[in-house]
Structure 1
Amino acid sequence: MWAWVRAAAVTTALAGMLVGLTGCMTVHGETALVPATTKAEAEKVLENFVGVRNTAHRSFDADLSTTVQHGPLGDSERAALTALKAVHPEGDKEFKPLELRDAEFHIPRQAGWPKYFLASAPGQVGDVRAHWLVMFSRDGIDADWKASYLSVVEPGAAPAFATDKDGYARPLRKDATDPLAVEPAQLGTEYTEFLQKGEGEVFAPGRFTTERRETRAESANRPAARNEWADTPADPERYPVMGLYTEDGGAVAFFAVHQHTKQTVAEGYTPTVDPLVEPLLKGEARQTLTKAYLYQQLVTVPEAEDARVEFLDQRAGLISAEGS
């Protein structure tokens, strides 16, 4: 793994030793378990998110998008809209707005910050229907609610979430009475180590695990290019794990990881730079092109120790690129 990527991994590991799962921290002395928000407020937050997101995507307005998004989702969309605006300054002439109806809100009781809640709703963009899961969070009483994670699954595939005796969702936290197959805070580390080494049995075989390693192996060495990958967990303070327990005794968790891809071409060749990569590129890609991605994913974490984590969705966002 390249030296600068190793340094980032060490920083992340140290931060992980200091920060527990979200919803468990005590900040500014606030220790009381209270509802993260109310249903009425959650409805307004979701309505505002959809409206602003539609406007930002229609005009490729990265600054506007950050007023309703932050965290992994916000950083990914900001970079994407910046690149799109540079290539298509006129905006999206074929834009189709997102519509979310009949949303359910899963609101936990939490102590300290950040606090979060999940909006789960059937959605439609043009003729495409799916189920949208949007995790909103905020870091303090004076902060605005913003979307941190977003996942899209097949209609009818949304998980069934557990509630307590008062009807509130149950947030992920270290709880000896509810053991999970893997501690959610370790998902990023477990996943990136599997991608790099192929070791462990935490994750079920599939598109984002075993198949990805196979695809990488097949494309690592081309006749005129060498491709390399480096994967590191995301900073748990900047991109905290968020999730809820489910009715089956397990949980679902949103988490983020970084992926860097480096292509080195043979003498006499130059890397191909996609038009949407150009606006995010630093330097000139004469022989190498390195692209930095931020991956956000939603997984099911089973209760039983012998069961495996399954991916429900994964979304990749190109954050930056560097040439040399």
Structure 2
Amino acid sequence: MRRLGRAATGLAATAVLSLTASACVTVHGELEVVPSATKDEAAKALSAFTEAYNKADKAYDPALDAAHVTGALGAINQAGLKARQVNFPDGNPNHVPLELTDAKFTIPKKAGWPRWFVADTDSNRDQDDTAADNRWVLVFVRAGADEGWKAAYLTIMLPRQIPAFKTDKDGYAEPVAPDSAALAVAPRNLSEEYASYMQDGKPDHFKPGPHTSAWREERKKTTNVPGLSTQYLDQPLDTGNFGPLGLMTRDGNAFVFFSVRNFERQTAAKGVQLKVVPDVKALLTGTVKDTITKERVSSQAVLVPPGNGAEPGQAVEVVGRLTGLTAAKGS
């Protein structure tokens, strides 16, 4: 695992990710609590994102939507387009324009920057009115007065999983402070604690499910197979544009988006050749001799109950997760 740590550290240092300072602070005397955006601004931001996303997906060119994505979604989107651009230099032969309709915007009131809002949308990537029906829930962030709106998080959820948000008399939502002591886990601690849980099962206040206990079990099954050893390393990713963002729900919980970084290191036994698929090869640095280390960024949407984290039943529920390969290194 020490060798994995060195490889992962080097990979993290060389990975090209969109990192800018946008801590939740008040600047330039902007102390007034105001809506983060108007409904019209939110609609225009969603439309601009969708248009740029489609141009980038059609051409497989990350430059075409780079100005409209950031944070976890930006890292996943840009790396994915970069890989496909290598493998499909003439563009996407199977492009189908993304459509995001029936948008429901949840806009918090807050002071200072960054400002942000949630867009709950219906995409044309599902089958409406069936068990496969889902919603695309995006978080848009604006880091400063001179910055544009960028999509930082995307979670694909079942309609019933989306909570009802707490709002004031004017319909504006209540943001959750990163250091909130009123919750079982403060949002700023979620990335570190989730990474720790995925690593060794502690702290154990994450509710069992596909993105927690089942994911850990899935990893255990692939740790040692004939001819191949796999190690996993998870690290918090919670600064700059990867910081957590959350809203209070009507029932007293917090709905929080946060990021982590995952590493997967595969080592082949003597005489066994590692298989490198095209999307991994396109992001590869170094030469694969007997080892390959893959880096991924993962964004989660969770429900955090109120409390001090020590009382029974205060389990954090991971309701959605989006993961994407961002880099790979051979050795």
Of 149, 153, 159, 2:153 maps to 149
Corresponding letter in the other structure for 1:196: Q
Distance in 1 (alpha carbons) for counterparts of 2:126 and 2:93: 14
Residue 125 of structure 1: aligned partner = 125
TM-score normalised over the length of structure 1:
0.90
| SS of alignment partner, residue 166 of structure 1 | coil
* C-alpha separation in 1, matches of 2:7 and 2:229: 18
> Which of these residues, 216, 240, 245, is aligned with residue 242 of structure 1?
245
Q: For 2:111 and 2:51, how far apart are their aligned partners in 1?
A: 30
- Equivalent residues in 2 for 1:109-258, closer than 5 Å: 109-125=109-125, 127=127, 129-173=133-177, 179-258=182-261
Structure 1 residue 30: deviation in Å?
2.4
Superposition deviation, residue 60 in structure 1: 1.1
CA contact (8 A) 2:32 2:111 kept: yes
Q: Which moved more, 1:200-209 or 1:182-191?
A: 200-209
Q: Residue 45 of structure 1 aligns to a residue in which SS?
A: helix
* Alignment RMSD (CA, Å): 2.2
What corresponds to 1:50 in structure 2?
50
Query: 1:4 deviation in Å?
Result: 3.4
* Deviation at residue 34 of structure 1 after TM alignment: 1.5
Letter in 1 for 2:170: D
- In structure 1, the gaps of 5 or more residues are 12-18
- Structure 1 stretches of 4+ with a deviation exceeding 3 A read 1-8, 126-129
Aligned residues between the structures: 312
- 2:18 counterpart residue number: none
Deviation at 1:193, TM superposition (A): 0.6
**Normalized against structure 2, the TM-score is what?**
0.88
The 8 Å contact of residues 96 and 125 in structure 1, kept in 2 or not, is answered as no
**Separation in 2, partners of 1:41, 1:294:** 29
Q: Which residue number in structure 2 is paired with residue 101 of structure 1?
A: 101
Q: Percent identity?
A: 38
Of 282, 290, 295, which aligns to 1:292?
295
> 2:178–2:188: 8 Å Cα contact kept in structure 1?
no
Which AA in structure 2 matches 1:279?
A
Alpha-carbon distance in 1 for matches of 2:127, 2:81: 23
In structure 2, relative to structure 1, the CA distance for the partners of 1:7 and 1:62 (3 Å cut) is closer
The reply on whether 1:88 has 2:88 as its aligned counterpart is: yes
